Copies of this chain bind each other. A is one copy, B any other.
Amino acid sequence: MKSNRKSYADKRRENVIVGLKSLGEKLYEHMLNGVFPWVEMPSRSIDNIFYDPELRQYVLGERKVRRSAGNVRHISSFTKLVWTAFFVKELTKQKKTSTLRDLYYSAQAYEMSFKDQSESDNIITDLETVIGYPREDFNVFPEERSAVFGDLTIEYNVPGYEGRRMNLTSHPDGVMIGPALTYADFVSTKADKVIAIEKGGLFTRFIEEQVHKKFNAILVLTAGQAPRATRTFINRLNSELDLPVYIFTDGDPWGMHIAMVIISGSANAAHLRKLTTPDAVWSGVWATDIVDYKLPSDKLTDRDIKRLHELAKDPRYKGELWQREIKTFLKIGKKAEQEAFSRYGLTYIVDEYLPTKLESAEA
């Protein structure tokens, strides 16, 4: 499985360093040529974001924006971008992590006066756009943590743990996906699929009912909308280990969209790749499941209905399954949660629903 000696983390780090160096060299070159240094990057404004049916994700179009030190209106954001590149280089070199919040405060030590955190967050997104890698690759992580459980042996790369291995069945509450696990190497697995689950309660139920053994699966808890590190992790399970991915969410427009963001990403990340898993499958809870399984359900709210009409027009939802389910939701006017299967006993979801759904997806 490990095709070469370089760890996954080292490769990501090198990519970032190459990107940062190339940025720095350009700036030096400009100055040596006697011009004000500038940076060019694809525009992230709404009218430059397109859905790419080939890549099955949002991408940025051709339009570019340029920030120049020679333009008084640009000089502040240009300087902040260069400082952020410097800060991030230090993080990467020292193998330290930071949050977006930390970065905002760290800037104050350098008298980089960001108006507020949304300004510094935006500069980080600029830097992602310039060098083409997500901020997690240069060690800037969000707060949220999700988890994973199943037969996968990983090898750590973080300082003090280099070369140490862990099997992800070691902790029966699930192993937290933080910076260390996100960039660990995958050593070996006997699993033949990945099952992603929206809610912690069901994740624990699946572990207790040994879904990982019975279905030979690696279980991933998304804990609501999956953090980007978790989406990267799912992408890696799919692309590096060649494992099919099945996603189980609540049966409502919000659950459906949790699945969609894992599959096709979000417009916010149109400037990035490798955060999506286009071949992942949304396996339930479908609107048609609510009917077929006579699930306890709640009435759709006005907000739910509005959201469904939005999704119906979204290019990511063009496929037959999605359109059918959106229509069914609107027709029955109902939604149901994953836990609704408990109506048939706590293990029904594992004994009956899950195998039926996996079979139909594999067929």
Contact = CB atoms under 8 A, between A and B. Distances in A.
B173 A296 contact: no
A284 to B, nearest CB: 16
A218 to B, nearest CB: 16
A105 interface: yes
B105 A340 contact: yes
Nearest to A108: B343
A179 B144 CA distance: 20
Interface in A169-209: 170-181, 199-201, 204-205, 208
A176 B171 contact: yes
A166 to B, nearest CB: 6
A156 B172 contact: yes
Interface stretch (A25-33, A65-73, A157-165, A236-244): A157-165
Interface in A74-107: 96-99, 101-106
29 contacts: A97-B208, A99-B199, A99-B339, A101-B337, A101-B339, A102-B201, A102-B205, A103-B342, A105-B296, A106-B342, A106-B345, A106-B346, A109-B344, A141-B201, A141-B204, A144-B200, A156-B172, A158-B172, A158-B208, A159-B208, A166-B171, A170-B170, A171-B175, A171-B180, A172-B178, A172-B180, A173-B180, A174-B176, A178-B200
A341 interface: yes
A181 B173 contact: yes
Contacts of A337: 101, 105
A145 interface: yes
Contacts of A159: 208
A176 B179 contact: no
A143 interface: yes
Contact of A172 (B103, B109, B160, B172): B160
A153 B272 CA distance: 41
Nearest to A177: B173
A147 interface: yes
Nearest to A200: B143
In the A-B complex, list the 6 residue pairs whose CB atoms are closest, starting with the nearest: A173-B178, A99-B201, A105-B342, A172-B180, A101-B339, A106-B342
Nearest to A159: B208
A83 B51 CA distance: 52
A161 B166 contact: no
A300 B340 CA distance: 43
Contacts of A346: 96, 98, 102, 106
Contacts of A204: 97, 141, 178-179
Contacts of A101: 201, 337, 339
Nearest to A344: B109
A98 B342 CA distance: 10
Interface string A30-46: 00000000000000000
A200 B145 contact: yes
Contacts of A98: 201, 342, 346
B342 A102 contact: yes
Interface centre among A144, A199, A343 (most CB of B within 10 A): A343
Nearest to A349: B102
A176 B160 contact: no
A176 B175 contact: yes
